[in-house]
Structure 1
Amino acid sequence: GGVSYHDFSGHKGTINTGDVQWLTAGRGVVHAEVPAGQGVQRGINVWINLSAEDKMVEPMYQDLASHDIPTAGEGGVSVKVIAGECLDARSPIRPRTPALCLDVALRPGARLRQHVPRGWSACAYVIDGEAVFGGATASASAGARTLVVFGGDGDCVDVRAEEGHAVAGARVMLVAARPHGETVVRDGPFVMNSREELEQAREDFRHRRNGFEMADGWTSDHAATAVVR
């Protein structure tokens, strides 16, 4: 399976199984996304806030096919490095906001200690299996489809897969990013730093200006699912 996408600037294509699309929405983009292929499809959509100085940059796509995603592994751990660095692998994705995004697969009993800069916001989503977070003094387990949010006072994330006869390991998405320390005001797809900026963005979209000019009269191949970011 996959996802087909199309936006008002003509950028279009299909993200297939294991591929990544990193979209910097910036001043705004209108696009459409629909499932491609048959059967049940799963995907993860992560939003990372832009700083005030980057809010109005031009939209940009960075596509990464599955076979081009850097991978690293050791001791029963396999990591796809979507953004940032892990072990000896570094992603070519260059986020506007410094960020880390890892797709981590752990065999039963395997462990990963991943450095995260102190003060960054960090979370982990358990995709499959059972994962244990923390070290010898304090730990907590989380099952599939569980989001774990970490405090910002540490400098690493410690995760391992449960070990046992009925355990098949774990798969975890680890995401971290540097906070901006700025006010966040959001409404639907619009995310700004003040109520005034938010209303201005809505007006710009409504009147097709300040970046939304190409939305005027645009019709997508997937018009029924067109959304604003």
Structure 2
Amino acid sequence: MNSTVHTPGKSREVEHVVAGMEASDGAGVRLQRVLTQELQRRLDPFLMLDEFRSDNPDDYIAGFPEHPHRGFETVTYMLAGRMRHRDNAGNEGLLTAGGVQWMTAGRGILHSEIPEQEDGLMHGFQLWVNLASDKKMIDPGYQDLPASAIPEYTSESCAHIRVIAGESEGVAGAISRPDTEPLYLDIELAPGKPHWQAIPASHNAFIYVYSGEVLAGDSQRKVTTRRLAALSGNRMRDHQGEGIALQSAEGARLLLIAGRPLNEPIAQWGPFVMNTREQIEQAVTDFRNGDF
């Protein structure tokens, strides 16, 4: 590809590419886990990213029966299919194509996510975002946003961008969160059109390509379908032009996710993410005692 991206500064580069691993969660839902514990420190404040994609009901029909969380937030983004959410705080919502569920587990929540379809494609993502130490025991919260509530725009580079969280080119996203200040974009690159995407200089960032192939950074490192690319941090003294150069010969779709690192200890046991082992043990005790 001979096109170059005209950028306001030096682009971030791809540090390394991760090919996720096949996994099963819930009551047997098959998925691809692409951000695992090995990357939590490097991509702080993000703890996990799963992609679920199948048109075989046996892979998803049982869903995720009631289970607990404490100490972080879950973000579920649906591209296709329908998922019913219920929790012990009395919240209930139907997540449909293009919609987002942003749930703050805080001090503890029990919820279920069950598909409301018996055939057809089920495709989406779940991201776990850590909470700061002084927010881990806040009251649980829940937002269910339909596709129509997600701001979107087309850039000068003809890229179509949905702004789930944060801000991009003056477009405020559907969600704004303190401390981690996440940026969550769904980007559709136009074939052969170079695109520059700004990223806050303070943030750790990665891209996940879920359709097509992308050339990223000034070095034009290739990132293929269903691969996560961790991006380098800021190396510019004045922070001007902070962002990533992206392009695709045939067009591509990807998630760009960035957040301000918390730089705090991470202690995790399954669905509980705290700062110390003692806090994890307390979470297990509270769950077993029915205190969520």
TM category (shorter chain) comes to 0.7 to 0.9
CA separation in 2, counterparts of 1:49 and 1:139? Answer: 31
Residue from 67, 82, 94 that aligns with 1:2: 82
Q: Does structure 1 residue 90 correspond to structure 2 residue 172?
A: yes
Distance in 2 between the 1:87 and 1:172 partners? 18
- Map 1:1-229 → 2, pairs under 5 A: 1-37=81-117, 38-74=119-155, 75-96=157-178, 97-135=180-218, 138-154=219-235, 155-161=242-248, 163=249, 167=250, 169-209=251-291, 212=292
Q: Aligned-pair RMSD on alpha carbons?
A: 1.3
Q: What SS is found at the alignment partner of 2:120? A: coil
1:142 CA drift (Å): 1.0
How far off is 1:94 after superposition? 2.1
Question: Unpaired segments of 5 or more residues in structure 1?
Answer: 213-229
Moved more, 12-21 or 32-41: 32-41
Letter in 2 for 1:113: W
Q: CA offsets per residue over residues 55-101 of structure 1, 9 Å max, x none?
A: 01111112221012111112220000000111231113122421100
Range with bigger deviation, 46-55 or 113-122: 113-122
Aligned to 1:46, the other structure's residue is in SS state strand
**Structure 2: distance between partners of 1:35 and 1:92:** 24
Aligned partner of 1:124: which letter? I
**Is the Cα–Cα contact under 8 Å of residues 72 and 88 in structure 1 kept in the other structure?**
no
Amino acid of the structure 2 residue aligned with 1:59: P
Residue of structure 2 equivalent to 1:223: none
Partner secondary structure for residue 204 of structure 1:
helix
Contact 1:101 1:175 survives alignment (8 Å): yes
Partner of 2:75: none
Counterpart code for 1:30: L
Percent identity over the alignment? Answer: 38
Question: Which whole-Å CA distance do the structure 2 matches of 1:171 and 1:5 have between them?
Answer: 27
The TM-score with structure 2 as length reference comes to 0.67
TM-score of the aligned structures, taking structure 1 as reference length: 0.85
The size of the alignment, in residue pairs, is: 203
- Matches of 2:276 and 2:243, distance apart in 1: 33
Q: Distance in 2 between matches of 1:110 and 1:187?
A: 44
What do the CA deviations read for 1:121-163 (whole angstroms, capped 9, x no partner)? Answer: 111110101111102xx220111111111122353122111x2
SS at match of 2:285: helix
For 1:158 and 1:57, locate their aligned partners in 2 and report how far apart those are by CA, in whole Å: 38
User: In the TM superposition, what whole-angstrom CA distance separates every residue of 1:95-120 from its partner, at most 9, and x where no partner exists?
Assistant: 24211000000111123322222241
- In 2, the alpha carbon distance for the partners of 1:23 and 1:13 equals 12
Structure 2: runs of 5+ lacking an equivalent = 1-80, 236-241
The answer to which of 115-124 and 8-17 deviates more is 115-124
Kept in 2: contact 1:73–1:87 (CA 8 A): no
